Structure 1
Amino acid sequence: MKIGLLTLPVSENYGGILQCVALYNYLKHQGHDVVLLYKVNDAPLWKSVIKRLFSYIPFYDFKNLKSNYKKKIFHLPFVNYCISHKSANLKSTEDLSAAVKKYHLDAVVVGSDQVWRLRYINDKYYKSFFLDFVDDEVKKIAYAASFGKDYWEGKGDEAEIGRLLERFDYISVREESGIDICKNTFGVTKDVHHVLDPTMLWSKEFYMSLMPSNSFNKKISLLTYVLDEADDKKRIISACIEKREILPDNVLHLKGFGDKKRYYTVPEWLEAFSKADFIVTDSFHGVVFSIIFNKQFVAIANKDRGLDRFISLLGMFNLKDRLIFDSDFNPECFKSDIDYNNVNCKVAEQQKESLGFLKGL
């Protein structure tokens, strides 16, 4: 089939990039002809101009505009290497509809990541992520779509979104709560499946093939990947260092808390996870790749970014005890080990179900 893949804009976020790379390449591996439909936010022209001007002001990074733009450009070679067929920027319903016709698509797949979280898709064309631009004769599929939280953040649009979801041929969500939202908030009557994030469709060998030969010469006894710096999280990291008797030189901060803040390429980010002995993260995909590489880890609950994502993922593999909260944690969690024999069996079972969903399209 000729498939259009619609997800959040692939930019500076490691998890966002890798989930897109994983699903795009899995669909290609299945023999499909895939194009990434590159939907971008429909910001007014004046706002786009102002943002670009702010990005050029020296020694000033207004709302991280400059650093985010640099990161997007920084990751572009990797994205272009892994995703060979990508549309031009598409903003409106009309743009997306024209792309479906231009590429003669047989199906459009929306997912994965938080493509159904209003906070992240909130422009006047947000219903594009519910495929309002796709005609009836083209298949409509959701793979591992996430609402981010255990409720829909919108209000007053439930009936219309429910109508759009009823047009889908196949629906799957990344969190178990997504099934309840589809059924109880939007009144969906058809089956809604719970599947893995697309990054977990591949084994670690797929990601190792994307890594550089050796970017890190030192031992990584502790790896931290913390999206939101806070004193409580620093206290958790310090407790981990003390409990595991880790030397300061053997700690690598991929984001936050480091004295020398630098950008890491996606392959370097993957390599760091693969070489770490222990990982502390507040990132959903930080947890995912800890599991993929069979690492000992703890996940710091990240309520603002969507706690339900962590609960669903960890619950799937009986790992809820790895979730700790800023204000209440037992330092003994840094010494207890995960039995990956059991976890890998559960991952294999979930992979079989998720791959079965995709093969049945």
Structure 2
Amino acid sequence: MSKVGILSMQRIFNYGSFLQAYGLKKILEDLGCNVEFVDYHPGECLVIAESGRGLSRKISKVLEVFRNDAPLKEKIRFIMYKKNYAANYYPYLGINKTMNYAPELDLLVVGSDEVFNCVQNNPNVGFSPELFGISNHAKKLISYAASFGNTTLQHLEQYKVRDRVTEYLSKFNAISVRDANSGAVVKGLTGQEPHYNLDPVLAYDFIGKCNVIPSKVPESKYMILYGYSGRFSIEECKAIRAYAKQKGWKIFCIGGVQDCCDKFIDCSPFQVIVYFQHAEAIITDTFHGTIISVITHQKFVSLVRRGGYGNAEKLTDLLERLHLSDRIICDMESLSQMLASPIKYEETDSIIRTGRKHTYEYLRQEISHCIQG
């Protein structure tokens, strides 16, 4: 049995990070591997956040929550969700507070998620060479559905790290990415076309295989607003509130609290899938919120943002690959019309089935080479 490590974003406190880590772990276990998660030391941020670092950043994040008009008890519920996240959900991944740096492995898999997004202001990540496999103790190094996120070739040149990243990528035995920008960066730096694979939340059949997803159905009629706290503007929240009121639905916020929140849902990552399954509609501006909408065959829209940190590159790429570009919304003017429009999932399901085959083929081949080598 191959000893395989996953170097990912498993300690980031959000549902998407958890589900992609869990999904990749289950796929590798399906392939007969003994899997463990590997940790990294955050690097120095190349971009400095306005909120600062360390304690000042944490205080700023808490204040962001209390600035919006959501009910106080829902804000407190969100704070408790963050406080208890590690204790509640790390055990599902087989991790705890003890960090696992550079273990001896047959194979190290870097990914999925934005592991290559090195030009960013998150001090929990920063520019960490370890996220590119540096200083690992594995016999073989590959990536799976890794993403540079908003980091482009131009950013690497601007911040004078292009040569370093090129050197890091040259040490991989195989590179798999999930999106066009990441593929362009890899091709531009190495001259090689990477493999393209589905994010693990698509690649692993959560609906058909995951036996820890509960079956209890939430009772009231509700829609889900899925995004980081305060990400939806006052104007956007007013439009969403008006739409929900017209429909007679409650607004359940998952992942963060927003101005128009009726209830913040503090639940397990697996319960999130159940909430999505039984919602009347979904509004999200996140990558994994979009994916969970797709795997649950929900009515949804994905709000694409081009300003600030932005999400346009990854969301547009994802929805184009799934042939669901018509679910992109840029403002709330067409919200009612778009959510009333039916989604034909047959073609998307076919794309996902093919992508799942490619996932297992890619990983099976790299594991096999590892055993042979």
Tell me the TM-score normalised to structure 2 length. Answer: 0.79
180, 198, 201: which is aligned to 1:199?
A: 201
Query: 2:186 aligned with 1:182, yes or no?
Result: yes
State how 1:117-196 maps to structure 2 within 5 Å: 117-118=117-118, 119=120, 126-134=128-136, 138-149=139-150, 151-152=152-153, 153-154=155-156, 155-184=159-188, 186=189, 188-196=190-198
Which one is further off, 202-211 or 293-302?
202-211
Cα distance in 2 for partners of 1:223, 1:3 equals 36
State whether residues 186 and 193 of structure 2, in contact with CA within 8 Å, keep that contact through their aligned partners in structure 1: no
The CA deviation at 1:72 is: 4.5
In structure 2, do the counterparts of structure 1 residues 49 and 300 end up closer, same or farther at CA, with 3 Å as the change threshold?
A: closer
1:117 match: secondary structure: coil
What residue identity is the alignment partner of 1:306?
Answer: N
295, 298, 301: which is aligned to 1:298?
A: 301
2:144 match: secondary structure: strand
Corresponding residue number in structure 2 for 1:247? 248
State whether residues 150 and 313 of structure 2, in contact with CA within 8 Å, keep that contact through their aligned partners in structure 1: yes
65, 82, 89: which is aligned to 1:79?
A: 89
The CA deviation at 1:300 is: 0.6
Query: 2:11 aligned with 1:7, yes or no?
Result: no
Cα distance in 2 for partners of 1:280, 1:330 equals 9
Cα distance in 2 for partners of 1:50, 1:341 equals 48
State whether residues 115 and 121 of structure 1, in contact with CA within 8 Å, keep that contact through their aligned partners in structure 2: no
Q: CA RMSD in A?
A: 3.2
In structure 2, do the counterparts of structure 1 residues 248 and 275 end up closer, same or farther at CA, with 3 Å as the change threshold?
A: closer
The CA deviation at 1:248 is: 3.2
Corresponding residue number in structure 2 for 1:93? none
Structure 2 alignment gaps of length 5 or more: 45-52, 67-74, 367-373
In structure 2, do the counterparts of structure 1 residues 240 and 341 end up closer, same or farther at CA, with 3 Å as the change threshold?
A: farther
Corresponding residue number in structure 1 for 2:107? 107
Corresponding residue number in structure 1 for 2:371? none
Cα distance in 2 for partners of 1:20, 1:82 equals 10
In structure 2, do the counterparts of structure 1 residues 300 and 269 end up closer, same or farther at CA, with 3 Å as the change threshold?
A: same
Alignment size in residue pairs: 337
What residue identity is the alignment partner of 2:278?
Answer: K
In structure 2, do the counterparts of structure 1 residues 297 and 259 end up closer, same or farther at CA, with 3 Å as the change threshold?
A: closer
* 1:219-267 superposed Cα distances (whole Å, 9 cap, x missing partner): 33x222132121242244246447xx51134x43334221444533323
What residue identity is the alignment partner of 1:171?
Answer: I
State whether residues 224 and 280 of structure 1, in contact with CA within 8 Å, keep that contact through their aligned partners in structure 2: yes
Cα distance in 2 for partners of 1:321, 1:352 equals 26
The CA deviation at 1:69 is: 7.6
Cα distance in 1 for partners of 2:95, 2:272 equals 24
Cα distance in 2 for partners of 1:310, 1:2 equals 34
2:145 match: secondary structure: strand
Corresponding residue number in structure 2 for 1:345? 350
State how 1:44-83 maps to structure 2 within 5 Å: 61=62, 70-83=80-93
In structure 2, do the counterparts of structure 1 residues 354 and 131 end up closer, same or farther at CA, with 3 Å as the change threshold?
A: same
1:159 match: secondary structure: helix
State whether residues 38 and 86 of structure 1, in contact with CA within 8 Å, keep that contact through their aligned partners in structure 2: no
State whether residues 215 and 268 of structure 1, in contact with CA within 8 Å, keep that contact through their aligned partners in structure 2: no
In structure 2, do the counterparts of structure 1 residues 204 and 236 end up closer, same or farther at CA, with 3 Å as the change threshold?
A: farther
Cα distance in 1 for partners of 2:166, 2:185 equals 10
254, 269, 272: which is aligned to 1:269?
A: 272
In structure 2, do the counterparts of structure 1 residues 180 and 73 end up closer, same or farther at CA, with 3 Å as the change threshold?
A: same
In structure 2, do the counterparts of structure 1 residues 42 and 146 end up closer, same or farther at CA, with 3 Å as the change threshold?
A: closer
* 1:93-145 superposed Cα distances (whole Å, 9 cap, x missing partner): xxx3xx32xxx30111111111111216666761111111136x721111111
In structure 2, do the counterparts of structure 1 residues 113 and 279 end up closer, same or farther at CA, with 3 Å as the change threshold?
A: same
| Highest RCO, 1 vs 2 (Cα 8 Å, sep ≥ 6) | 2
State whether residues 225 and 253 of structure 1, in contact with CA within 8 Å, keep that contact through their aligned partners in structure 2: yes
State how 1:327-338 maps to structure 2 within 5 Å: 329=334, 331-338=336-343
The share of aligned pairs that are identical, in percent, is 23
Tell me the TM-score normalised to structure 1 length. Answer: 0.82
Which one is further off, 313-322 or 34-43?
34-43
State whether residues 37 and 87 of structure 1, in contact with CA within 8 Å, keep that contact through their aligned partners in structure 2: no
Cα distance in 1 for partners of 2:304, 2:57 equals 32
What residue identity is the alignment partner of 1:89?
Answer: M
Corresponding residue number in structure 1 for 2:365? 360
In structure 2, do the counterparts of structure 1 residues 61 and 126 end up closer, same or farther at CA, with 3 Å as the change threshold?
A: same
